[in-house]
Structure 1
Amino acid sequence: MTRVVVDAIETQEDKLRFGDPIGCHYHWLEPGAVDSYGDSVRRLAAKVELAVDAFERTSTLSEEVFAGEAADTLRDRAGRRHEESATVRDNLRGLGRAINAYSDVLRRHREGLEQLRDLAVSKGLEVRDNRIWPPVETLPGDATQKQADAWEADWKAYQACFETKIELRDARRAATRELVKALAEHAGVHPDKDRARLVPAGANQVRFGELRREAAEEALEAVQAGDAAEAARDTVDVLRRREQTALGRLEELVVAEAPSDDIQAQAAKVQALHRELDGAKVEMRDAEAVAQREQAQAYRAARDLADAEAGRPRLVVEPADGQPGRPSDLRDRLG
């Protein structure tokens, strides 16, 4: 008996080895559906572009058009929002392009598998159950030269099909990595950089990437809560000034002995402003409480990350059996 004399290629795809049946069936997402999703992401980026323009125009309002403390605050906030929205717009554009590029790769992959199937059929290989089957592995010792040549040609044809399948696989995997990279850029998360470094947490293990993502999320929530509290304080200040102005106007009307209807209308305006101011003060206190809570959580997440990077153990307490809830930081429990 004569064994196969073709080079053994140990390249794998889902346990695929040289000599195994080669799958030629496309079973990934439809390229058209992927392309449509990429288009929708890019349309969303176009909508964000409108917000970018609006924030830019607001941040560049001249003093002649809008002046004063409120105008300065508005321009400052619009400037910050312009930078944030521009970053979101750029990330969405990049993500949309990456998704569209991935759909093109899937389309080429599907066409490549169809061409691979046609190649196998043209070479006389057996194609069954969406697989290209290898030729027989051995030849009898009394095989003729013609049979040996045909057998060797079949194996060379199989090798060509196998190498084509590996090339298709590598191209698809490279495109997948590019898409994942674009997703990571959009989310601001890069867990691969810390894949090998682990931090013990009781019976569990916490990855550095997870700690950094948690710290970033808590920091963002703290910033957003701080902005909300600042906006609430600004609203209270504006209403307080409006109330003082209305009170001054009421005093002027009383001193000037203006008609009673004018005095009553001004008094009603003062009362309405006072009620609005009281409501704004309540909202301000609530916003400040939320901001303090979010700030404390951000400090806690940053402290956990710093401890992990410094190699200090991260102490947690596990809930008792039957007690719902997630592990909490032991230092928080003990103050």
Structure 2
Amino acid sequence: MTKVVADRAEAQQDGLTFGNPIGCHYHWLEPDRIDGYGDSVRRLAGKVELAVDGFERTAHLSEEVFAGEAADTLRDRAARRHEESAAVRDNLRGLGRAINAYSDALRRYREGLEQLRAYAVSAGLEIRDQRIWPPVETIAGDTPQKEVDAWERDWKAYQACFEAKVELRDARRAATRDLARALAEHAGVHPDKDKAKLVARNAHQVRFGELQREAAEEAMEAVQANDAADTARHTVEALKRREQAALGDLEEMVLAERPPEEIQAQAAKVQALHRELTEARVEARDAEAVAEREVAQADRAARNLEAAEEGRTRVVGERADLPQGPRTAAQPADLKDRLG
């Protein structure tokens, strides 16, 4: 039979391990409340906008209205204040958008948990204490085939619930990382590669304790690689739209029987866009591959750090095989056989 051994760092996050009850209760902040926070930040950005306009008008006072050394000093100071207040306004707007996006992510997370619970109910799994409970671990080898089939269906339904919960959890964590990145940007912090800490840009200093350098650097590289992959995808989408628009123009020119030189020029434009799109798709695939590789390295560094902090050795999947032979009536079915 198969000995089921799960990697705790892989499968157990937030107490989630295959074979244990799956929580389907939403216990985070209400999304509407978080939306209220984001709206408040954006309203504050609107008030800062008034200061931006005031400093801008002061910085551009004409010599005819106000001249002299005092006027020049006032205009210089107003120009500096304009730049500072504009930066604050932009940061507040970005932070407000990030908070609103996080509330949307939590709203999707809550809806996903409700759908998960509904699916578990429809599949006939046991729901108790806002948790989806797994079927019994093993059944006797002489159990009737009808009961064995039902038992396997229940386990496959439980596996689908487990995988859905992992996807929901990962999506929520990605949204949390985006919000943390927006908060760091608003605070003006950036990772200092020469020191194993984070320092701030504007004469502020933020210390995050004794971080493991490798895990921090791998995490930042993963974020940068994902950003590069997103940019490449957006470039591909933009080129696709431009190519379709150029093709439409070419078709209209042919139907309108425009001069051959105009049609030829438009066809050359379409060909150039197509070549550019082909190259962009190759670059996007490369960026996706790099992002996947960087995320895997960051996950591995984080798991090693977690294991070191807890003073344990990571456990990997291992298989304890008995001598092969026909299954007897007393030998129960195993988890590997029924889940494939």
* Structure 2: distance between partners of 1:92 and 1:179: 13
How far residue 3 of structure 1 moved from its aligned partner, in angstroms, is 7.2
Q: Deviations over 1:84-141 (max 9, x none)?
A: 0000000000000000000001111111101111110100000100110000000111
Question: In the alignment, is residue 217 of structure 1 matched against residue 215 of structure 2?
Answer: no
* Structure 2: distance between partners of 1:186 and 1:197: 21
Aligned counterparts, 1:292-303, within 5 A: none
* Structure 1: distance between partners of 2:68 and 2:94: 39
Q: Which residue of 2 aligns with 1:240?
A: none
Structure index of larger Rg: 1
Aligned counterparts, 1:169-318, within 5 A: 169-191=169-191, 198=196, 208-209=197-198, 212-213=199-200, 216-217=203-204
The answer as to whether partners of 1:3 and 1:138 remain within 8 angstroms in 2 is no
* Structure 2: distance between partners of 1:215 and 1:114: 44
TM-score w.r.t. the length of structure 2 is 0.56
How far residue 16 of structure 1 moved from its aligned partner, in angstroms, is 1.2
Secondary structure of 1:110's aligned partner = helix
* Structure 2: distance between partners of 1:179 and 1:151: 42
Residues 163, 96 of structure 1: alpha-carbon distance in 2 compared, 3 angstrom cutoff: same
Amino acid at match of 2:176: T
How far residue 216 of structure 1 moved from its aligned partner, in angstroms, is 1.8
* Structure 2: distance between partners of 1:90 and 1:213: 18
Secondary structure of 2:204's aligned partner = helix
Q: Which residue of 1 aligns with 2:168?
A: 168
CA RMSD of aligned residues (A): 2.4
* Structure 2: distance between partners of 1:214 and 1:184: 11
Aligned counterparts, 1:36-185, within 5 A: 36-185=36-185
Q: Deviations over 1:300-321 (max 9, x none)?
A: xxxxxxxxxxxxxxxxxxxxxx
TM-score w.r.t. the length of structure 1 is 0.57
The answer as to whether partners of 2:102 and 2:175 remain within 8 angstroms in 1 is yes
* Structure 2: distance between partners of 1:197 and 1:20: 42
Amino acid at match of 1:20: N
How far residue 69 of structure 1 moved from its aligned partner, in angstroms, is 0.7
* Structure with greater contact order relative to length (CA < 8 Å, sep ≥ 6): 2
Residues 123, 3 of structure 1: alpha-carbon distance in 2 compared, 3 angstrom cutoff: farther
* Structure 2: distance between partners of 1:52 and 1:12: 49
* Structure 1: distance between partners of 2:132 and 2:157: 11
How far residue 17 of structure 1 moved from its aligned partner, in angstroms, is 1.1
Q: Percent identity?
A: 74
How far residue 214 of structure 1 moved from its aligned partner, in angstroms, is 9.5
Unaligned runs of 5+ in 1: 199-207, 219-335
How far residue 11 of structure 1 moved from its aligned partner, in angstroms, is 2.2
* Structure 2: distance between partners of 1:214 and 1:157: 51
* Structure 1: distance between partners of 2:3 and 2:150: 13
* Structure 2: distance between partners of 1:213 and 1:89: 19
Q: Deviations over 1:212-255 (max 9, x none)?
A: 3498238xxxxxxxxxxxxxxxxxxxxxxxxxxxxxxxxxxxxx
Secondary structure of 2:18's aligned partner = coil
* Structure 1: distance between partners of 2:30 and 2:165: 19
* Structure 1: distance between partners of 2:154 and 2:167: 20
The answer as to whether partners of 2:189 and 2:201 remain within 8 angstroms in 1 is no
* Structure 1: distance between partners of 2:134 and 2:145: 20
How far residue 14 of structure 1 moved from its aligned partner, in angstroms, is 1.2
Amino acid at match of 2:110: R
* Structure 2: distance between partners of 1:8 and 1:136: 21
Q: Which residue of 2 aligns with 1:310?
A: none
* Structure 2: distance between partners of 1:3 and 1:29: 42
The answer as to whether partners of 2:188 and 2:202 remain within 8 angstroms in 1 is no
Residues 217, 197 of structure 1: alpha-carbon distance in 2 compared, 3 angstrom cutoff: closer
Q: Which residue of 1 aligns with 2:22?
A: 22
How far residue 13 of structure 1 moved from its aligned partner, in angstroms, is 2.3
Q: Extract structure 1 runs of 4+ deviating beyond 6 A.
A: 2-5
The answer as to whether partners of 2:42 and 2:92 remain within 8 angstroms in 1 is yes
State the number of aligned residues.
203
Secondary structure of 2:174's aligned partner = helix
The answer as to whether partners of 1:98 and 1:179 remain within 8 angstroms in 2 is yes
